[in-house]
Amino acid sequence: MNQIDKKFEKLGTDHAPGQEVRQSGITSEAYLRGETLPGTPVDFSHGDVNDDAFSPTPGALEEFVEGVHRGGPQAYTEYRGGAELRERVADKLAEFTGRPVSGAKELIITPGTQGALFLALGATATAGDKVAIVRPDYFANRKLVEFLGAEVVPVRMDHLAHTESAGLDREGLEAAFKSGVKTFLFSNPNNPAGVIYSPAEIARIAELANRYGVTVIVDQLYSRMLFRGQVYTHLRASSIDADQVVTIMGPSKTESLSGYRLGVAIGAAHLIDRMEKLQTIVSLRAPGYSQAVLRTWFAEDPKWLQDRIAKHEAIRDDLLKVLHTVAGLTARTPQAGSYLFPRLPALGVSLHSFVLALRVQAGVTVTPGTEFSPDATDCIRLNFSQNHEAAVQAIERTVQLIERYRS
Amino acid sequence: MNQIDKKFEKLGTDHAPGQEVRQSGITSEAYLRGETLPGTPVDFSHGDVNDDAFSPTPGALEEFVEGVHRGGPQAYTEYRGGAELRERVADKLAEFTGRPVSGAKELIITPGTQGALFLALGATATAGDKVAIVRPDYFANRKLVEFLGAEVVPVRMDHLAHTESAGLDREGLEAAFKSGVKTFLFSNPNNPAGVIYSPAEIARIAELANRYGVTVIVDQLYSRMLFRGQVYTHLRASSIDADQVVTIMGPSKTESLSGYRLGVAIGAAHLIDRMEKLQTIVSLRAPGYSQAVLRTWFAEDPKWLQDRIAKHEAIRDDLLKVLHTVAGLTARTPQAGSYLFPRLPALGVSLHSFVLALRVQAGVTVTPGTEFSPDATDCIRLNFSQNHEAAVQAIERTVQLIERYRS
């Protein structure tokens, strides 16, 4: 196998969220237990963007249409995004994160937050560099590092053993930084676990980043969806050297604007410059017309936003109630975002077989934990941004199947 | 300077089309000659997408809005694009290119053709590989190769010395392939020169690719905009081994749908698989709602398309008439697309200084030839997909400035 074959061999996407339809069918159904369970199919691999689940921000489509009518200047923005819009978004994000942002120099609009992640990592790490990533964390982080030819240095996060913090292995983080890591990439709130890093954890990350000269990329995609009583600490407003941090945000989750593919990164000007250079060759720019939709961002009716968060919290609580009836299942209550990441009791089949049975027999699509950490062989991730009733029924079916497949 | 600093040093974008506003102002105006010329500013760095120039395909916005109303399934497609849409587009492209396409296996929808180019090159070349690219050709090709850590092997194309072919250096191409090139990337029609590769040139490329086992990526972005009497040869319908070719298309030029950011690549299933793996980490998918706009593609009213091409041809002819009044200027008549790439007479200032003077003194933005070939120090590229009258007047001002700055 030559070099490029090996590279792509590692980039498997068979179990990536949203790609389930590309899996080949069950070659042997011998392992399936019992009959199919009727009910509305629910795809927990991503949030549902529909009127009976969660719709895009009111006014988003209208802004898009106005953008189309503006024509050329909206279609062909600077590669980093339209100048006026960047100023507007910079002001909003400065207020949100608690530290100034220059729209001219410190912000780039990207095609989705995935685009922003790629650009940020590509701007800070190259072949042979060491990059620290958390386990578990967003499924593509590992692949990004591998594609660039860099080396993954994993840092553990044991969210199930903690309640007052995310559970980051602080000694492990320092050991990683000491070993020569150049970039540390993590999501906060954590995807898949829905936990928030405590103020002490963020302070520690900042302190270590400064001490060891590590650039930190923090994916804050879910940082607006905070449930009652939660405190969120923005890394960029901590003691971290402003030259060493890139913050990634986007309107695709809380705001359900994913279909427009928009992401935003803010950070040190020299890193944003590099990200733009890279964007030039990877995708040129975020969709011109879609950029107009960012005019609705952080300008939503506060009641609409509160209501949206409250609805997610209610779904979370109802799903947890059902999950907690399963003996041997462990689930920490998510503090933010729309993910549940329960650890299942011991099963008599492999995790991937169970996930496939769940889809085939119960119409329930979930993402296996192994997408987020090679150790998470007994976890599944569910995005509960769904129709409330359908989600509860789907979890009831899931529980039935867990009982069927127990070891 | 460390490794990543060097990498980004090479990825300069200061003179890239559309990025002119980011250039710092003139530090010394001492070299400027004469007064400012009044007139409607024209930005020839890209086509103008406006009602008084060229609007998006009729019905495009309506398809987008319907896509938004379809909700989740349109927002979250497979990473390679929605399945039904891929079948539809595959059928159209099979008919257009003269060879079958499997929508399930041989097609991917990307965020713009830039995205498709990056994925195609990333799927076929890695660090240390040799990649042949044409000079002159699309400005990002060289940067793509460099970002991947691969090596550029240039192949000359002397379009000004030929009329019956693009002017590819066929011996140079074979020498490049012999030297161990793994991938050959070229645009046809050529961007920036607007010339079409002859049937003999395409046959030669196919023959050499087969003989030396080279994968060929052909960027056919402008292949629908063919002017009267022109013949176009699709590489994928030639004798080339189907496993060794990726064809890139998109609706952003002839159809003026650039603001939606859509590209399409068709090719061997194993290469499309890799491209999807790479898309997963670079941008996840083409904008979900925008994908719906592809439903209008190759389904336009034939009269609308003919009229659009005729209008471009008329602008081309009028601009050439003005340019041909300049002593010492050489311009080959474009056979397709919307680019002019004239060679200017000797000037008394550098090309970049002239380009800047043109923008500052005449409100005319063009792209310096050096973006397309390091040798093209006396060429400028103009995208003439503009308002007809404004474009002619802008070229008249350009001619005045050429006279002012002659050496």
Tens-digit pLDDT profile for residues A224-271: 999 999 999 999 999 999 999 999 999 999 999 999 999 999 999 999
pLDDT at A14 over 80: no
Closest-CA residue of B relative to A80 is B19
pLDDT at A120 over 70: yes
- Report the run of H or E that residue A171 belongs to, with start and end: helix A170-178
Q: How far B80 CA lies from chain A's nearest CA (Å)? A: 9
Confidence of residue A91 (pLDDT cuts 50, 70, 90): very high
Helix (H) or strand (E) holding B267: strand B263-267
Which positions in chain B touch A74 (Cβ < 8 Å)?
259
Q: Which of residues 324-383 of B touch A (CB under 8 A)?
A: none
- The verdict on a CB contact (< 8 Å) between B287 and A260 is yes
Of the candidates B79, B281, B287, the beta carbon closest to that of A19 is on B79
User: What pLDDT sits at residue B364?
Assistant: 98
| pLDDT score for B25 | 55
Between B29 and B200, the more confident residue is B200
| Chain B residues near residue A290 by CB distance under 8 angstroms | 261, 287, 290
Whether residue A26 has pLDDT greater than 60? no
Percent of chain A residues topping a pLDDT of 90: 92
Candidates B57, B277, B279: best to mutate against A (most CBs of A within 10 A) is: B277
Over pLDDT 90: what percentage of chain B? 92
Q: What is the pLDDT at residue A28?
A: 66
Determine the pLDDT at residue A5.
86
Record the tokens describing residue A257, joined without a space. 């604007």
State pLDDT tens for residues B304-337.
999 999 999 999 999 999 999 999 999 999 999 9
Residue B22 pLDDT exceeds 80: no
Q: Are B280 and A140 a contacting pair at CB < 8 A?
A: yes
The whole-number pLDDT of residue A24 equals 60
A71 CB contacts (<8 Å, ≥6 apart)? B48, B49, B50, B51, B55
Interface with chain A: mutation pick from B289, B294, B367, highest number of A CBs within 10 Å = B289
Residue B2: what pLDDT?
Answer: 80
Nearest CA of chain A to the CA of B403: how many Å? Answer: 31
pLDDT band at B18 (very low <50, low <70, confident <90, very high): confident
Residues 6+ apart with CB under 8 A from A369: A136, A192, A341, A343, A351, A376, A377, A378, A379, A380, A381
User: How far is the C-alpha of A154 from the C-alpha of A374, rounded, in Å?
Assistant: 11
Average confidence score pLDDT of chain A = 95
Q: Which residues of B touch A10 (CB under 8 A)?
A: none
> How high does pLDDT run on average in chain B?
95
Band (A41; pLDDT cuts 50, 70, 90): very high
Q: Does B285 touch chain A (CB under 8 A)?
A: yes
Contact list in B for residue A149 (CB cut-off 8 A) is 127, 149
Of A30 and B290, the structure prediction assigns the larger pLDDT to: B290
Cα of A82 to nearest chain B Cα, Å = 11
Q: Structure tokens of B24?
A: 């710092």
Average pLDDT over residues A360-365: 96
Size of interface A-B (CB pairs under 8 A): 206
pLDDT reported for residue A230: 97
> Which chain A residues touch B263 with a CB distance below 8 Å?
none
Q: Identify the three-state secondary structure at position A108.
A: strand
Q: In the structure, what pLDDT confidence band is assigned to residue B350 with cuts at 50, 70 and 90?
A: very high
The answer on pLDDT for A85 being more than 70 is: yes
Query: How far, in Å, CA of A44 to CA of B66, rounded?
Result: 24
Which residues in chain B are closer than 8 Å to A68, comparing Cβ atoms? 56, 61, 259
pLDDT at A138: 97
pLDDT at B28: 66
Separation between Cα atoms, residue A16 and residue A370, nearest integer Å = 10
The answer to whether the CB of A192 falls within 8 A of the CB of A159 is no
pLDDT of res. A404: 97
**Residue B182: closest CA among chain A residues belongs to which residue?**
A4
pLDDT 10s digits, A289-328:
999 999 999 999 999 999 999 999 999 999 999 999 999 9
Q: Residue A261 in 3-state DSSP? A: coil
Contacts of A140 in chain B (CB under 8 A): 280-281
Q: What does DSSP assign to residue A168? A: B
Q: What angle do CA B316, B321, B323 make, to 5 degrees?
A: 90
Q: Encode pLDDT of B240-271 as tens digits.
A: 999 999 999 999 999 999 999 999 999 999 99
- What pLDDT, on a 0 to 100 scale, did the predictor assign at position B29? 72
Contacts of B51 in chain A (CB under 8 A): 71
Would you call A285 and B261 a contact, using CB atoms and an 8 Å cutoff? yes
Min Cα distance B92 → chain A (Å) is 23
- CA torsion angle A112 B80 B74 A379 (round to 10): -70
The shortest CB-CB distance from A147 to any of B18, B79, B281 is to B281
**Are residues B49 and A129, on separate chains, in Cβ contact within 8 Å?**
no
Contact check, Cβ <8 Å, B71/A49:
yes
ipTM of this complex: 0.94
Residues 6+ apart with CB under 8 A from B331: B320, B323, B324, B340, B341, B342, B343
Question: What beta strand segments (E) does A68-160 contain?
Answer: 107-110, 130-135, 151-156
Yes or no: say if B9 and A131 are a contact pair by the CB < 8 Å rule: no
Higher per-residue confidence, A7 vs B306: B306
Asked if the C-beta of A96 comes within 8 angstroms of chain B's C-beta atoms, the answer is no
Query: How many angstroms away from the CA of A98 is the closest CA of chain B?
Result: 27
Comparing alpha-carbon positions, the chain B residue that sits nearest to A259 is B75
CB B261 to CB A290 under 8 A? yes
pLDDT per residue over B105-139, tens digit each?
A: 999 999 999 999 999 999 999 999 999 999 999 99
Q: Look at A123 and B75 and tell me if their CB atoms are within 8 Å.
A: no
Residue B144 has pLDDT above 60, yes or no: yes
